[in-house]
Amino acid sequence: QVQVVESGGGLVQPGGSLRLSCAASGNIFSINGMGWYRRAPGKQRELVATIISGRTNYADSVKGRFTISRDNAKNTVNLQMNSLKPEDTAVYYCNVNGRTSWAAKLTDYWGQGTQVTVSS
């Protein structure tokens, strides 16, 4: 099994910053990519940022404000969020796409989510 645990959410005022962290552990053979998704109240889950083989991808709504980074040796991924807006309020989920063995298929593993609230 693979465990994915997020941390770092909370309440912040508009214009403020937060840093989310995610760690994957357990029976990990290899990781293809890691990323962050979010679900705002009443909306579907959406991609925020991903990092695969060093290449990053961001949702248009967060470009220039959020930065994703990954430590391959530690199987961790971080999301630095600056200039936060009320519309960034959501539950943020960490995603790990990887294998538990050489022969296993790529599988998505998800954390439980961490709440980010941007409000004055």
Q: What is the pLDDT of residues 31-81, one digit of tens each?
A: 999 999 999 999 999 999 999 998 999 999 999 999 999 999 999 999 999
Strands 90-99 and 66-71, bridge-based pairing: unpaired
Which residues make Cβ contacts (< 8 Å) with residue 45, sequence separation at least 6? 37, 38, 39, 93
Structure tokens at 31: 């990781």
d(CA 81, CA 88): 10
Residue-wise pLDDT for 108-117, tens only, equals 999 999 999 9
Residue 43's pLDDT is: 95
d(CA 87, CA 22): 22
Structure tokens at 59: 């949702």
Percentage, residues of the chain above pLDDT 90: 98
Indicate the burial class of 39 (C-beta count within 10 angstroms; 0-12, 13-18, 19 or more). middle
Amino acid at 45: R
Which residue, among 23, 7, 29, 4, has the nearest Cα to 70 in the 3D structure?
Answer: 23
